[in-house]
Chain A
Amino acid sequence: ETGVTQSPTHLIKTRGQQVTLRCSSQSGHNTVSWYQQALGQGPQFIFQYYREEENGRGNFPPRFSGLQFPNYSSELNVNALELDDSALYLCASSATGDSYEQYFGPGTRLTVT
């Protein structure tokens, strides 16, 4: 059974640029959630995708957007990057019926300069 994978591992961008982060969910999981973990903080919920539709959103501006594909993999897009967007971005997948347990990927470390 393949776990949750994320790419890239690390990324450095300049303020104002756009970035796309990718996540492959665990086999059999149809729900993907994205979290932002700033340095020294707990993860904060960005949004969740279920069957290719956004299924809930945290307190993040519209420049944070996402997609989920038919194979349940997902992308997180961030436009007009700001310095405060520097963080570890975590993807978690879960299965309907067992959705209380979320399985996390290793994360993508984004640095905005």
Chain B
Amino acid sequence: AQSVTQLDSQVPVFEEAPVELRCNYSSSVSVYLFWYVQYPNQGLQLLLKYLSGSTLVESINGFEAEFNKSQTSFHLRKPSVHISDTAEYFCAVTLTNSGNTPLVFGKGTRLSVIA
């Protein structure tokens, strides 16, 4: 079975400072990796995903994540955060060997950007 560990439950950071949200996963088979963002009182929005190819993936709003197979990690980074980035961030995995497999989520990291 797969599992996802998000090492920090809360991360406070000042506006325009860099941030890293950590995610480690455990799986005996290959997985695809995702970061989702959840704004207050809303559902989940896909932020970025790693399926194959370059291990560094980027989102349109400045976030990036790097897949590290040897360390089984998929940490999320942003060089300069904005107040609007305040949200809950979830790392998730799914199996690669068949379609329509469910997502397994971590417990989430609450990012609070301070003005």
Contact = CB atoms under 8 A, between A and B. Distances in A.
B54 interface: no
B65 to A, nearest CB: 15
Contacts of B36: 104
Interface in A46-67: 48, 50, 55-56, 58
B102 A45 contact: yes
Contacts of A4: 43
A8 to B, nearest CB: 14
Q: How large is the interface on B (under 10, 10 to 19, 20 to 34, 35 or more residues)?
A: 20 to 34
Count chain B CB atoms within 10 A of each CB in A40, A102, A103 and give the residue with the most: A102
Contact of B100 (A43, A44, A94, A104): A94
Contacts, number: 64
A42 B90 contact: yes
Given A31-B100, A48-B100, A56-B100, A106 B43 contact: yes
B11 interface: no
B44 A104 contact: yes
B94 interface: yes
A33 interface: yes
Interface in A68-113: 90, 92, 94, 96-97, 99-107
Interface of A: 4, 6, 31, 33, 35, 40-45, 48, 50, 55-56, 58, 90, 92, 94, 96-97, 99-107
23 contacts: A6-B43, A35-B103, A35-B105, A42-B92, A42-B106, A42-B107, A42-B108, A43-B103, A45-B102, A45-B104, A48-B102, A55-B100, A56-B101, A94-B100, A96-B99, A100-B49, A100-B51, A101-B49, A104-B36, A104-B43, A105-B43, A106-B42, A106-B43
Closest 10 CB pairs of A and B: A42-B105, A45-B102, A99-B99, A104-B43, A104-B44, A106-B43, A99-B100, A42-B107, A107-B43, A43-B105
